[in-house]
Amino acid sequence: MKRHLRLAALLGAPLALAAWGCSGDQVESSVDSTGQSIQHAGEKVQDAGHNLGEKIEKAGEGGKLEKATDATAHAVEKVGDATGKGLEKVGEKISDSAASVGDAVDKTGDKLKEIKDKTGDKLNDLKEKAGDKLNELTGKTKDAADKVEEGAKNAADKAAEGVKNAADKAAEGAKDAADKVKDAVEAPKS
């Protein structure tokens, strides 16, 4: 399981670099480095297989199971060789693909920049149009508010005039009533 995790980490490193916005050259270098690391790991697996096989042979020398240990040692060496050669081939293929991965990252970066530019232009256009509409609506709202304010002022003036007229009429009516009461009080009693 640890080997799978290490291999995933080695292969995932170039993808992470691409996601962080590295250039194609940087990603290409990283992929090539990953391939070389895998090749080196293959060599180490081969060496480990040979060393383990030799130790098994030495452990079985002179014993009753010498033939069995020799066969086991050779099998371990073959497995180590096969695994090591397989890893070396994988590493070579990864190193060979480094240039195409770098180019793909560059192309993707160019496409993203192009999309960003197009989207940015469209957003700027929308922003300008929204600003114009907002100014237009603000003007209409201000005009409507001015009309409402003028109408309210006229209504207040008319109401004040009406109240004044009513107050004047009430005052006249009260004066007339007071005069009549005075006349009635002053009139001779017969």
Model confidence pLDDT, tens digit, residues 63-99: 777 777 777 777 777 887 787 787 778 777 777 777 7
Render 48-117 in DSSP notation, one character per residue. HHHHHHHHHHHHHTTSTTHHHHHHHHHHHHHHHHHHHHHHHHHHHHHHHTHHHHHHHHHHHHHHHHHHHH
* Domain extent listing, the chain: 2-96
Q: From CA 109, how far away is CA 114, in angstroms rounded?
A: 9
- pLDDT at residue 74, rounded to an integer: 77
Q: Whole-prediction pTM value?
A: 0.44
